[in-house]
Structure 1
Amino acid sequence: MKKIIVVGGSKGIGEAIVNALVDNNSIINISRTAPSLSHANLKHYDCDVLNDELPEIENADTLIYCPGSINLKPISRLKLEDFREDFEINVVGAVKAIQQYLPKLKNGKNPSILLFSTVATKLGMPFHASVAAAKSAVEGITKSLGAELAPTIRVNAIAPTVTDTDLASKLLRNERMIENITERHPLKKFLKPEEVSDLATFLISDKAQSISGQIFELDCGIVNFKI
């Protein structure tokens, strides 16, 4: 049974990851709201990762940092504060969690760190300047720390396309928008949170011990295909 720290496991992709892992692992969730799930293997800490001190945890094998943002505006409407906020949520929060729990992870069993990017770092899309900049930094951290922490700790990231979560609700708020997003993807679909959690579960497992420093595009074909 692994000891897994999930930051942001109460909603969206983080919630799906907690649900997928909780039966066979000891899960510590750190977020501002408690998960709806109640389970003997799940412990929750009420914490704002950017503003509060992170809880002391005795030991850990895996750290998964899930918080993110979808702040889509034309560059003329993006304020410098938007860039700062997106960077804080996506990058600074992840670095804070990594620095806090790195000593524990170094003593873990086949330890790993999993972060989250977006397809917008590879596929230029209008109105994505702020989030794409922040997530590009996440990808840089993934590769840099993958090298720095080898061979002890593996570090990977998942870059999903649009995923049916509360965070993406503005992009999926009516049938026309759902149809347009579906048609934009070569596989004629977008993601469910459970699909992302399936990949996350694999990447932190012992089956992925030879994988580190990688960014996995979970994209329904939108980045690499033109059909």
Structure 2
Amino acid sequence: MPEYTVDATPFAGKVALVTGGSRGLGREMAWAFARSGADVAIVSRKLDACVSLAKEIEADTGRHAVGFSCHMGEWNAQEQLADLVYAEFGRLDILVNNAGIAPVYPSLPEVTESLYDKVFDVNVKGAFRLMSVVAPRMAAADGGSIINISSIATKRPMPSELPYAAAKSALEIMTMGFAQEYGPAVRVNAILPGAFDTDIAAAWDPEVVANEMAHLPAGRIGRPNEIVGAALYLAGPSASYTTGVLLPVDGGRTAMGR
């Protein structure tokens, strides 16, 4: 019988960059990569929050962690971010495009051009530009893994989130296209989270959430740390034959009918 060993630090010597990394699912993934041996670049618009988390991660794990500020909706900011990360760490092995926004609106006719553009800028344009800057550098070095955080809204769109669902659908198309362009050196996949109990969920009606979650096969809302398994798998060597995949992590929501 073959013997198998579990590597406690499978990402030792690797560098991971997580956008939208100071809170919610991004925060959980930043912690997970560091605890698995990676050095971590944590990115959001709020530099103080990124720096604070980086200090916590360094103190707890001993890994090198640095916070960066970047507006993901600004085209030119993405190359500047990549340059800063490479200057600090010397390499980049894992990119997680987690930054995203899903603003609420009263009705579809009341969606403003500004809101619409902002949703696509942050959820699509920034991710596209950052991938287009980073993927060639990864391919020219030791390869790498890119993980785009999409949403189950692309499969179960609601009228209250149409611009967001459309933007995430575009991100999924880019996931498949980048996987073709930069394979085999760079693998590109997407995670489609369902409802998770993050700070964003605090604004949801608890009764409505409880009623909807009770009908899921999982029977509940997701815990933030439950995104970690998918992220570590897609970033790691066990997923060496996995690219261009759209992976739901949604408590079984896609298994249900409308």
TM-score, scaled relative to structure 1 = 0.91
Tell me whether 1:48 sits opposite 2:60 in the alignment: no
Instruction: Name 1:197's counterpart in structure 2.
Output: 228
> Which of these two proteins has the greater Rg computed from alpha carbons?
2
Deviation digits for residues 114-146 of structure 1 (CA, Å, limit 9, x no counterpart): 001111111132312111110000010011111
* Cα distance in structure 2, aligned partners of 1:95 and 1:86: 14
Instruction: Name 1:60's counterpart in structure 2.
Output: 92
- The alignment covers a number of residue pairs equal to 225
Identity of aligned residues (%): 26
Tell me whether 1:222 sits opposite 2:253 in the alignment: yes
* Pairs within 5 Å for 1:84-103: 84-103=117-136
- Please point out which of 5, 9, 18 is paired with 1:6: 18
Question: Contact between 1:142 and 1:213, CA under 8 Å: does it hold in 2?
Answer: yes
The Cα of 1:72 is off from its aligned counterpart by 3.7
* Pairs within 5 Å for 1:153-192: 153-171=186-204, 173-174=205-206, 176-192=207-223
* Cα distance in structure 1, aligned partners of 2:162 and 2:257: 22
SS of residue matched to 1:54: helix
The 10-residue stretch of structure 1 (210-219 or 36-45) with the greater mean CA deviation from structure 2 = 36-45
Show structure 2 runs of 5+ residues with no match: 1-11
Instruction: Name 1:151's counterpart in structure 2.
Output: 184
- Please point out which of 40, 51, 54 is paired with 1:27: 40
* Cα distance in structure 2, aligned partners of 1:126 and 1:188: 24
TM-score, scaled relative to structure 2 = 0.81
The Cα of 1:93 is off from its aligned counterpart by 1.1
Change in CA separation of 1:50 and 1:70 when aligned onto 2, cut-off 3 Å = closer
* Cα distance in structure 2, aligned partners of 1:108 and 1:11: 30
* Cα distance in structure 1, aligned partners of 2:167 and 2:178: 17
Which structure exhibits the higher relative contact order, with contacts defined as CA atoms closer than 8 Å and separated by 6 or more residues? Answer: 1
SS of residue matched to 1:141: helix
SS of residue matched to 2:248: strand
The Cα of 1:3 is off from its aligned counterpart by 1.3
Question: Contact between 2:31 and 2:57, CA under 8 Å: does it hold in 1?
Answer: no
Change in CA separation of 1:59 and 1:145 when aligned onto 2, cut-off 3 Å = same
The Cα of 1:226 is off from its aligned counterpart by 4.2
SS of residue matched to 2:212: helix
Show structure 1 runs of 5+ residues with no match: none
The 10-residue stretch of structure 1 (208-217 or 42-51) with the greater mean CA deviation from structure 2 = 42-51
